[in-house]
A and B are shown apart, each in its own frame.
Chain A
Amino acid sequence: GAGVSQSPSNKVTEKGKDVELRCDPISGHTALYWYRQSLGQGLEFLIYFQGNSAPDKSGLPSDRFSAERTGGSVSTLTIQRTQQEDSAVYLCASSWGLAGATGTDTQYFGPGTRLTVL
Chain B
Amino acid sequence: ILNVEQSPQSLHVQEGDSTNFTCSFPSSNFYALHWYRWETAKSPEALFVMTLNGDEKKKGRISATLNTKEGYSYLYIKGSQPEDSATYLCAFPYSGGYQKVTFGIGTKLQVIP
Q: Which residues of A contact B (CB under 8 A)?
A: 3-4, 31, 33, 35, 41-43, 45, 48, 50, 56, 91, 93, 95, 97, 99-112
> CB < 8 Å: which of A45, A91, A101 contacts B102?
A45
Number of inter-chain CB pairs below 8 Å: 71
Give the distance in Å from the alpha carbon of A95 to the alpha carbon of B44 in the complex: 13
> CB < 8 Å: which of B96, B97, B101 contacts A107?
B101
Q: What residues of B have a CB within 8 angstroms of the CB of A102 in the complex?
A: 31-32, 51
| Given A45-B103, A95-B99, A104-B31, 9 other A-B residues pairs in contact with their CB atoms under 8 A | A31-B99, A42-B105, A42-B106, A45-B101, A97-B99, A100-B97, A107-B36, A109-B45, A110-B43
Q: What residues of B have a CB within 8 angstroms of the CB of A31 in the complex?
A: 98-99
Give the distance in Å from the alpha carbon of A91 to the alpha carbon of B42 in the complex: 11
> CB < 8 Å: which of B31, B46, B104 contacts A103?
B31
Known: A104-B51, A106-B46, A107-B46. A43 touches B31 (CB 8 A): no
